[in-house]
Amino acid sequence: MPDVHWGYGFPIGGVAATNVERGGVVSPGGVGFDISCGIRLLSTTFDEGDIQPRLTRLMTTLKRDVPAGGGRGGIWRANDRDLRRVLEHGARAAVEAGYGFTEDLERCEDGGWLPAGVGDAVSERAKARGIGELGSLGSGNHFIELQIVDRILDPQVAQRFGLREGQVTAMIHTGSRGLGHQICSDHVREMLKALESYHIELPDPQLAAAPVRSTHGERYLSAMAAAANFGRANRQLLTWAVRRVFEAALGRGQISVVYDVSHNLAKLESHQVGGSRVELCVHRKGATRALPAGHPDLPGVYSEVGQPVLVPGSMGTASYVLVGESSNDAFFSTCHGAGRAMSRHAAMRTGDGVELRRSLQRQGILVETRSVASLPEESPEAYKDVDEVVRACEGAGLSRPVARLRPVGVLKG
Protein backbone atom coordinates (compact mmCIF):
# COMPACT_ATOMS: atom_id res chain seq x y z
CA MET A 1 0.00 0.00 0.00
CA PRO A 2 1.24 3.58 -0.60
CA ASP A 3 1.34 4.29 3.14
CA VAL A 4 3.82 1.44 3.67
CA HIS A 5 6.58 1.74 6.26
CA TRP A 6 8.74 -0.51 8.44
CA GLY A 7 7.07 -2.80 10.95
CA TYR A 8 7.57 -5.95 13.01
CA GLY A 9 7.46 -8.99 10.70
CA PHE A 10 5.41 -7.56 7.84
CA PRO A 11 5.69 -3.91 6.90
CA ILE A 12 2.87 -1.68 8.05
CA GLY A 13 0.78 -1.20 4.94
CA GLY A 14 1.33 -4.82 3.92
CA VAL A 15 -1.23 -7.26 2.49
CA ALA A 16 -0.60 -10.98 1.97
CA ALA A 17 -2.90 -13.90 1.22
CA THR A 18 -2.17 -17.61 1.64
CA ASN A 19 -4.12 -20.52 0.15
CA VAL A 20 -5.65 -22.35 3.10
CA GLU A 21 -6.24 -25.69 1.34
CA ARG A 22 -2.65 -25.80 0.04
CA GLY A 23 -1.05 -25.47 3.45
CA GLY A 24 -1.23 -21.68 3.64
CA VAL A 25 -0.01 -20.18 6.89
CA VAL A 26 -1.15 -17.48 9.26
CA SER A 27 1.51 -15.20 10.75
CA PRO A 28 0.98 -12.98 13.82
CA GLY A 29 3.61 -10.64 12.38
CA GLY A 30 1.30 -10.18 9.41
CA VAL A 31 -1.38 -8.81 11.74
CA GLY A 32 0.69 -6.90 14.26
CA PHE A 33 0.76 -6.44 18.01
CA ASP A 34 -2.24 -4.11 18.18
CA ILE A 35 -4.77 -6.63 16.85
CA SER A 36 -7.89 -4.97 15.42
CA CYS A 37 -6.42 -1.51 15.74
CA GLY A 38 -8.88 0.40 13.61
CA ILE A 39 -10.97 3.46 12.94
CA ARG A 40 -14.53 4.39 13.81
CA LEU A 41 -16.09 7.48 12.26
CA LEU A 42 -19.06 9.20 13.88
CA SER A 43 -21.31 11.70 12.08
CA THR A 44 -23.22 14.36 14.02
CA THR A 45 -26.11 16.73 13.45
CA PHE A 46 -23.87 19.64 14.50
CA ASP A 47 -22.17 22.14 12.20
CA GLU A 48 -18.86 23.93 12.61
CA GLY A 49 -20.63 27.05 13.91
CA ASP A 50 -22.21 24.99 16.69
CA ILE A 51 -18.94 23.76 18.15
CA GLN A 52 -16.47 26.61 17.63
CA PRO A 53 -17.66 28.62 20.68
CA ARG A 54 -17.53 25.44 22.79
CA LEU A 55 -14.50 23.72 21.27
CA THR A 56 -12.25 24.33 24.27
CA ARG A 57 -14.87 22.86 26.60
CA LEU A 58 -15.38 19.87 24.31
CA MET A 59 -11.67 19.09 24.21
CA THR A 60 -11.00 19.57 27.93
CA THR A 61 -14.00 17.38 28.79
CA LEU A 62 -12.83 14.69 26.38
CA LYS A 63 -9.42 14.74 28.05
CA ARG A 64 -11.07 14.47 31.47
CA ASP A 65 -13.51 11.68 30.60
CA VAL A 66 -11.51 9.47 28.23
CA PRO A 67 -8.67 7.44 29.77
CA ALA A 68 -5.65 7.97 27.50
CA GLY A 69 -1.98 7.06 27.61
CA GLY A 70 -0.36 3.96 29.04
CA GLY A 71 -1.91 2.36 32.14
CA ARG A 72 -4.71 4.90 32.50
CA GLY A 73 -7.59 2.51 33.27
CA GLY A 74 -10.82 2.20 31.31
CA ILE A 75 -14.38 3.49 31.16
CA TRP A 76 -15.91 0.07 31.91
CA ARG A 77 -14.95 -1.29 35.31
CA ALA A 78 -15.30 -4.83 34.04
CA ASN A 79 -15.17 -8.07 35.99
CA ASP A 80 -14.05 -11.46 34.66
CA ARG A 81 -17.54 -12.27 33.36
CA ASP A 82 -17.77 -8.94 31.55
CA LEU A 83 -14.38 -9.49 29.94
CA ARG A 84 -15.34 -12.96 28.75
CA ARG A 85 -18.48 -11.58 27.12
CA VAL A 86 -16.40 -8.90 25.40
CA LEU A 87 -13.88 -11.47 24.11
CA GLU A 88 -16.73 -13.59 22.75
CA HIS A 89 -19.16 -10.92 21.51
CA GLY A 90 -17.19 -7.73 20.86
CA ALA A 91 -19.08 -4.47 20.48
CA ARG A 92 -22.34 -6.36 21.04
CA ALA A 93 -21.29 -7.00 24.66
CA ALA A 94 -20.67 -3.28 25.18
CA VAL A 95 -24.07 -2.37 23.72
CA GLU A 96 -25.81 -5.00 25.85
CA ALA A 97 -24.12 -3.48 28.91
CA GLY A 98 -25.67 -0.10 28.09
CA TYR A 99 -22.83 1.53 26.15
CA GLY A 100 -24.63 2.33 22.92
CA PHE A 101 -27.40 1.17 20.61
CA THR A 102 -28.12 -1.85 18.44
CA GLU A 103 -28.11 0.47 15.40
CA ASP A 104 -24.41 1.16 16.05
CA LEU A 105 -23.61 -2.48 15.25
CA GLU A 106 -25.38 -2.34 11.89
CA ARG A 107 -22.62 -0.07 10.55
CA CYS A 108 -19.64 -2.03 11.84
CA GLU A 109 -17.42 -4.50 10.03
CA ASP A 110 -18.73 -8.02 10.82
CA GLY A 111 -21.54 -6.46 12.87
CA GLY A 112 -18.96 -5.54 15.54
CA TRP A 113 -17.82 -9.06 16.45
CA LEU A 114 -16.09 -12.23 15.22
CA PRO A 115 -16.84 -15.79 16.40
CA ALA A 116 -14.17 -16.58 18.98
CA GLY A 117 -13.88 -19.75 21.03
CA VAL A 118 -11.67 -18.20 23.67
CA GLY A 119 -10.64 -21.29 25.69
CA ASP A 120 -6.97 -21.23 26.70
CA ALA A 121 -5.89 -19.53 23.46
CA VAL A 122 -6.03 -16.24 25.38
CA SER A 123 -3.57 -16.39 28.27
CA GLU A 124 -4.36 -15.26 31.78
CA ARG A 125 -1.62 -12.65 31.36
CA ALA A 126 -3.40 -11.23 28.30
CA LYS A 127 -6.71 -11.07 30.17
CA ALA A 128 -5.05 -9.36 33.13
CA ARG A 129 -3.59 -6.72 30.83
CA GLY A 130 -6.94 -6.11 29.14
CA ILE A 131 -9.49 -6.13 31.95
CA GLY A 132 -8.59 -2.67 33.21
CA GLU A 133 -8.34 -1.07 29.76
CA LEU A 134 -11.86 -1.51 28.36
CA GLY A 135 -12.77 1.93 27.07
CA SER A 136 -9.37 3.57 26.78
CA LEU A 137 -7.45 5.35 24.04
CA GLY A 138 -3.88 4.26 24.61
CA SER A 139 -0.89 6.25 23.43
CA GLY A 140 1.31 6.63 20.34
CA ASN A 141 -0.68 7.35 17.20
CA HIS A 142 -4.07 6.66 18.80
CA PHE A 143 -6.48 9.56 19.01
CA ILE A 144 -9.98 10.97 19.08
CA GLU A 145 -10.25 13.76 16.54
CA LEU A 146 -13.06 16.26 16.01
CA GLN A 147 -13.30 17.17 12.34
CA ILE A 148 -15.25 19.23 9.84
CA VAL A 149 -16.37 17.79 6.50
CA ASP A 150 -14.26 20.10 4.37
CA ARG A 151 -15.15 18.84 0.91
CA ILE A 152 -17.57 16.33 -0.63
CA LEU A 153 -15.97 14.48 -3.55
CA ASP A 154 -18.74 11.98 -4.36
CA PRO A 155 -22.11 13.51 -3.43
CA GLN A 156 -24.21 10.40 -4.04
CA VAL A 157 -22.08 8.10 -1.90
CA ALA A 158 -21.52 10.78 0.75
CA GLN A 159 -25.27 11.13 1.15
CA ARG A 160 -25.57 7.38 1.77
CA PHE A 161 -22.77 7.64 4.34
CA GLY A 162 -24.63 10.50 6.06
CA LEU A 163 -21.95 13.11 5.31
CA ARG A 164 -22.37 16.74 4.17
CA GLU A 165 -20.12 19.79 3.92
CA GLY A 166 -19.67 21.79 7.13
CA GLN A 167 -20.76 18.87 9.31
CA VAL A 168 -18.93 17.93 12.52
CA THR A 169 -17.56 14.38 12.69
CA ALA A 170 -15.52 12.49 15.27
CA MET A 171 -12.88 9.91 14.37
CA ILE A 172 -11.72 7.30 16.91
CA HIS A 173 -8.45 5.41 16.41
CA THR A 174 -7.54 2.71 18.92
CA GLY A 175 -7.31 -1.07 19.20
CA SER A 176 -6.98 -3.99 21.60
CA ARG A 177 -4.40 -2.35 23.90
CA GLY A 178 -2.27 -4.59 26.14
CA LEU A 179 -4.47 -7.63 25.59
CA GLY A 180 -3.78 -7.72 21.84
CA HIS A 181 -0.07 -7.08 22.37
CA GLN A 182 0.17 -9.99 24.80
CA ILE A 183 -1.74 -12.33 22.48
CA CYS A 184 0.65 -11.54 19.64
CA SER A 185 3.69 -12.13 21.89
CA ASP A 186 2.27 -15.40 23.26
CA HIS A 187 1.52 -16.90 19.86
CA VAL A 188 4.75 -15.81 18.18
CA ARG A 189 6.57 -17.64 20.97
CA GLU A 190 4.39 -20.76 20.58
CA MET A 191 4.81 -20.83 16.78
CA LEU A 192 8.59 -20.41 16.95
CA LYS A 193 8.79 -23.52 19.12
CA ALA A 194 6.65 -25.47 16.64
CA LEU A 195 8.33 -24.42 13.36
CA GLU A 196 10.30 -27.65 12.97
CA SER A 197 7.18 -29.81 13.35
CA TYR A 198 5.61 -27.96 10.38
CA HIS A 199 8.87 -28.05 8.33
CA ILE A 200 8.87 -24.25 8.15
CA GLU A 201 12.16 -22.39 7.71
CA LEU A 202 12.21 -18.62 8.14
CA PRO A 203 14.62 -15.85 7.15
CA ASP A 204 13.55 -13.92 10.26
CA PRO A 205 11.89 -15.11 13.50
CA GLN A 206 9.53 -12.10 13.30
CA LEU A 207 7.80 -14.06 10.51
CA ALA A 208 6.77 -16.88 12.86
CA ALA A 209 3.88 -18.77 11.26
CA ALA A 210 1.86 -21.97 11.32
CA PRO A 211 -0.52 -23.57 8.80
CA VAL A 212 -4.03 -22.20 9.11
CA ARG A 213 -5.29 -25.77 9.39
CA SER A 214 -3.14 -26.71 12.38
CA THR A 215 -3.42 -26.59 16.15
CA HIS A 216 -1.18 -23.53 16.37
CA GLY A 217 -2.86 -21.75 13.46
CA GLU A 218 -6.36 -22.33 14.79
CA ARG A 219 -5.36 -21.30 18.33
CA TYR A 220 -3.92 -18.05 17.05
CA LEU A 221 -6.96 -17.25 14.88
CA SER A 222 -9.23 -17.89 17.86
CA ALA A 223 -7.18 -15.62 20.13
CA MET A 224 -6.89 -13.00 17.38
CA ALA A 225 -10.69 -12.98 17.01
CA ALA A 226 -11.04 -12.46 20.77
CA ALA A 227 -8.61 -9.52 20.60
CA ALA A 228 -10.54 -8.14 17.63
CA ASN A 229 -13.69 -8.30 19.71
CA PHE A 230 -11.91 -6.41 22.49
CA GLY A 231 -10.81 -3.70 20.04
CA ARG A 232 -14.31 -3.30 18.65
CA ALA A 233 -15.84 -3.10 22.12
CA ASN A 234 -13.18 -0.56 23.03
CA ARG A 235 -14.22 1.75 20.17
CA GLN A 236 -17.88 1.25 21.14
CA LEU A 237 -17.14 2.44 24.67
CA LEU A 238 -15.29 5.49 23.36
CA THR A 239 -18.31 6.23 21.14
CA TRP A 240 -20.45 6.27 24.29
CA ALA A 241 -18.00 8.69 25.90
CA VAL A 242 -17.98 11.03 22.88
CA ARG A 243 -21.78 11.13 22.90
CA ARG A 244 -21.85 12.09 26.58
CA VAL A 245 -19.27 14.84 26.07
CA PHE A 246 -21.19 16.34 23.15
CA GLU A 247 -24.45 16.21 25.05
CA ALA A 248 -22.92 17.95 28.07
CA ALA A 249 -21.39 20.72 25.94
CA LEU A 250 -24.00 21.18 23.19
CA GLY A 251 -27.23 19.58 24.34
CA ARG A 252 -29.00 16.81 22.54
CA GLY A 253 -28.04 16.04 18.97
CA GLN A 254 -27.75 12.85 17.00
CA ILE A 255 -24.37 11.13 16.80
CA SER A 256 -24.34 8.11 14.49
CA VAL A 257 -21.76 5.51 13.51
CA VAL A 258 -20.71 5.89 9.87
CA TYR A 259 -18.52 2.79 9.99
CA ASP A 260 -16.04 0.86 12.14
CA VAL A 261 -13.24 -1.04 10.41
CA SER A 262 -10.07 -2.78 11.59
CA HIS A 263 -6.72 -2.37 9.85
CA ASN A 264 -4.73 -5.06 11.71
CA LEU A 265 -6.41 -8.40 11.09
CA ALA A 266 -6.22 -11.74 9.26
CA LYS A 267 -9.47 -13.07 7.80
CA LEU A 268 -10.52 -16.23 6.01
CA GLU A 269 -12.06 -15.03 2.74
CA SER A 270 -13.14 -16.41 -0.63
CA HIS A 271 -11.42 -14.82 -3.66
CA GLN A 272 -10.97 -15.49 -7.37
CA VAL A 273 -7.39 -16.57 -8.05
CA GLY A 274 -6.29 -17.86 -11.45
CA GLY A 275 -9.86 -18.36 -12.58
CA SER A 276 -10.91 -20.38 -9.52
CA ARG A 277 -12.55 -19.38 -6.27
CA VAL A 278 -10.35 -20.35 -3.32
CA GLU A 279 -10.29 -19.82 0.44
CA LEU A 280 -7.49 -17.49 1.47
CA CYS A 281 -6.13 -16.25 4.75
CA VAL A 282 -5.79 -12.54 3.99
CA HIS A 283 -3.42 -10.66 6.28
CA ARG A 284 -3.95 -6.90 6.43
CA LYS A 285 -1.43 -5.10 8.59
CA GLY A 286 -1.91 -1.36 8.47
CA ALA A 287 -4.26 -1.96 5.55
CA THR A 288 -8.02 -1.65 5.34
CA ARG A 289 -10.61 -3.91 3.79
CA ALA A 290 -12.36 -2.05 0.96
CA LEU A 291 -15.42 -3.95 -0.26
CA PRO A 292 -17.17 -2.80 -3.46
CA ALA A 293 -20.89 -2.36 -3.98
CA GLY A 294 -22.76 -5.66 -4.04
CA HIS A 295 -20.23 -7.61 -1.96
CA PRO A 296 -22.03 -10.16 0.27
CA ASP A 297 -20.05 -9.15 3.38
CA LEU A 298 -21.26 -5.54 3.27
CA PRO A 299 -23.76 -4.22 5.81
CA GLY A 300 -27.15 -3.92 4.11
CA VAL A 301 -27.18 -0.14 4.43
CA TYR A 302 -24.10 0.08 2.18
CA SER A 303 -24.73 -2.82 -0.21
CA GLU A 304 -25.58 -0.52 -3.12
CA VAL A 305 -22.65 1.90 -2.79
CA GLY A 306 -19.75 0.00 -1.21
CA GLN A 307 -17.88 0.02 2.08
CA PRO A 308 -16.74 3.21 3.79
CA VAL A 309 -12.94 3.25 4.07
CA LEU A 310 -11.63 5.51 6.86
CA VAL A 311 -8.20 7.02 6.26
CA PRO A 312 -6.74 9.31 8.95
CA GLY A 313 -4.03 11.72 7.92
CA SER A 314 -1.74 13.03 10.63
CA MET A 315 -2.32 15.36 13.53
CA GLY A 316 -2.86 18.70 11.81
CA THR A 317 -3.65 17.40 8.32
CA ALA A 318 -6.76 16.16 6.54
CA SER A 319 -8.36 12.72 6.78
CA TYR A 320 -10.45 11.00 4.12
CA VAL A 321 -13.48 8.80 3.70
CA LEU A 322 -13.07 6.53 0.67
CA VAL A 323 -15.27 3.80 -0.80
CA GLY A 324 -14.32 0.35 -2.09
CA GLU A 325 -13.92 -0.24 -5.85
CA SER A 326 -14.83 -3.38 -7.83
CA SER A 327 -11.55 -3.02 -9.78
CA ASN A 328 -9.53 -3.76 -6.62
CA ASP A 329 -7.15 -6.68 -7.27
CA ALA A 330 -5.41 -6.48 -3.87
CA PHE A 331 -7.93 -8.83 -2.23
CA PHE A 332 -10.22 -5.80 -1.72
CA SER A 333 -7.65 -3.94 0.38
CA THR A 334 -6.50 -0.33 0.46
CA CYS A 335 -4.43 2.06 2.59
CA HIS A 336 -5.10 2.66 6.28
CA GLY A 337 -3.70 6.17 6.73
CA ALA A 338 -0.98 8.56 5.62
CA GLY A 339 1.84 6.29 6.80
CA ARG A 340 4.98 7.36 8.62
CA ALA A 341 7.72 9.16 6.70
CA MET A 342 10.19 9.07 9.61
CA SER A 343 10.71 7.00 12.73
CA ARG A 344 9.43 8.13 16.10
CA HIS A 345 12.98 8.82 17.25
CA ALA A 346 13.66 10.96 14.18
CA ALA A 347 10.35 12.78 14.64
CA MET A 348 11.22 13.61 18.25
CA ARG A 349 14.25 15.53 16.98
CA THR A 350 12.13 17.78 14.74
CA GLY A 351 11.02 20.19 17.47
CA ASP A 352 9.47 20.92 20.82
CA GLY A 353 6.05 19.64 21.90
CA VAL A 354 4.94 22.91 23.42
CA GLU A 355 5.76 24.85 20.26
CA LEU A 356 4.12 22.20 18.07
CA ARG A 357 0.94 22.49 20.12
CA ARG A 358 1.00 26.29 19.77
CA SER A 359 1.63 26.02 16.02
CA LEU A 360 -1.39 23.75 15.60
CA GLN A 361 -3.52 26.10 17.69
CA ARG A 362 -2.57 28.96 15.37
CA GLN A 363 -3.96 26.81 12.55
CA GLY A 364 -7.25 26.43 14.41
CA ILE A 365 -6.53 22.96 15.83
CA LEU A 366 -6.77 22.43 19.60
CA VAL A 367 -4.64 19.57 20.91
CA GLU A 368 -5.14 17.90 24.29
CA THR A 369 -2.57 15.32 25.33
CA ARG A 370 -1.30 13.46 28.39
CA SER A 371 2.29 14.02 27.27
CA VAL A 372 3.20 17.29 25.56
CA ALA A 373 6.85 16.20 25.56
CA SER A 374 6.15 13.23 23.24
CA LEU A 375 3.88 15.20 20.88
CA PRO A 376 6.55 15.61 18.15
CA GLU A 377 6.39 11.82 17.57
CA GLU A 378 3.08 12.51 15.83
CA SER A 379 3.90 15.82 14.15
CA PRO A 380 2.55 16.30 10.60
CA GLU A 381 6.13 16.27 9.26
CA ALA A 382 6.54 12.69 10.52
CA TYR A 383 3.91 11.42 8.06
CA LYS A 384 3.49 11.14 4.31
CA ASP A 385 1.20 13.47 2.36
CA VAL A 386 -2.25 11.91 2.85
CA ASP A 387 -3.57 13.60 -0.32
CA GLU A 388 -0.87 11.82 -2.35
CA VAL A 389 -1.53 8.49 -0.61
CA VAL A 390 -5.25 8.75 -1.42
CA ARG A 391 -4.48 9.70 -5.04
CA ALA A 392 -2.26 6.63 -5.35
CA CYS A 393 -5.03 4.35 -4.08
CA GLU A 394 -7.50 5.92 -6.50
CA GLY A 395 -5.07 5.62 -9.40
CA ALA A 396 -4.48 1.95 -8.61
CA GLY A 397 -8.23 1.25 -8.59
CA LEU A 398 -8.25 0.24 -4.92
CA SER A 399 -10.67 2.87 -3.59
CA ARG A 400 -11.94 6.34 -4.47
CA PRO A 401 -12.43 9.44 -2.31
CA VAL A 402 -15.86 10.40 -1.02
CA ALA A 403 -15.14 13.18 1.50
CA ARG A 404 -12.22 15.14 2.92
CA LEU A 405 -12.22 16.00 6.64
CA ARG A 406 -10.09 18.63 8.39
CA PRO A 407 -9.26 18.54 12.10
CA VAL A 408 -10.29 21.14 14.66
CA GLY A 409 -9.57 19.23 17.89
CA VAL A 410 -7.31 16.28 18.70
CA LEU A 411 -7.04 14.18 21.88
CA LYS A 412 -3.81 12.16 22.12
CA GLY A 413 -2.56 9.76 24.76
What are the tens digits of pLDDT across the range 7-32?
A: 999 999 999 999 999 999 999 999 99
Active-site residues, by number, are: 336
- For residue 195, what pLDDT is reported? 97
Q: Are the beta carbons of 100 and 94 closer than 8 angstroms?
A: yes
Mean pLDDT of 388-399: 98
pLDDT at 254: 96
Query: Quick one: average pLDDT of 30-38?
Result: 97
The gap from C-alpha 359 to its chain's centroid, in whole angstroms, comes to 27
Q: What is the pLDDT of residue 73?
A: 87
pLDDT band at 326; cut points 50, 70, 90: very high
- Name the β-bridge partners of 262: 38
Confidence of residue 119 (pLDDT cuts 50, 70, 90): confident
Q: What is the DSSP letter of 350?
A: T
Identify the pLDDT of residue 70.
75
- At residue 344, does pLDDT exceed 90? no
What is the average pLDDT across 349-364? 92
Q: Show Cβ contacts of residue 203 under 8 Å, excluding neighbours closer than 6 positions.
A: none
Q: Please report which confidence band the pLDDT of residue 350 belongs to, taking 50, 70 and 90 as the band edges.
A: confident
Report the pLDDT averaged over residues 270-275. Answer: 93
Segment 47-68, tens digit of pLDDT: 999 999 999 999 999 999 999 9
- Locate all alpha helices (DSSP H) within 251-341, ordered by sequence: none
Longest pairwise C-alpha distance within the chain: 64
| Predicted local distance difference test score (pLDDT) of residue 111 | 97
Closest by CA to 68, choosing from 168, 157, 174, 153, is 174
Is the pLDDT confidence value at 72 over 80? no
pLDDT of residue 140 exceeding 90, the answer is no
* Model confidence, pTM: 0.97
Which one of 3.60.20.10, 3.40.190.10, 3.90.1860.10, 3.30.2350.10 gives the CATH number of domain 14-412?
3.90.1860.10
Q: First-to-last CA distance in the chain?
A: 27
Residue range 21-45: average pLDDT? 97
pLDDT class for 117, splitting at 50, 70, 90? confident
pLDDT average, residue stretch 316-345: 95
Distance CA 97, CA 236 (A): 11
Q: pLDDT value at position 207?
A: 97
Question: Is pLDDT at 118 greater than 80 in this prediction?
Answer: no
Give kind and range of the element (H or E) at residue 173.
Answer: strand 167-174
- Among residues 69, 104, 71, 70, which one has the least CA distance to residue 90? 104
The mean-pLDDT minimum among 44-53, 215-224, 346-355 falls in 346-355
Q: What is the mean pLDDT of the chain?
A: 96
pLDDT band at 388 (very low <50, low <70, confident <90, very high): very high
What's the confidence (pLDDT) of residue 139?
87
Per-residue confidence (pLDDT) for residue 113, from 0 to 100: 96
pLDDT band at 413 (very low <50, low <70, confident <90, very high): confident
Q: What is the pLDDT of residue 336?
A: 97
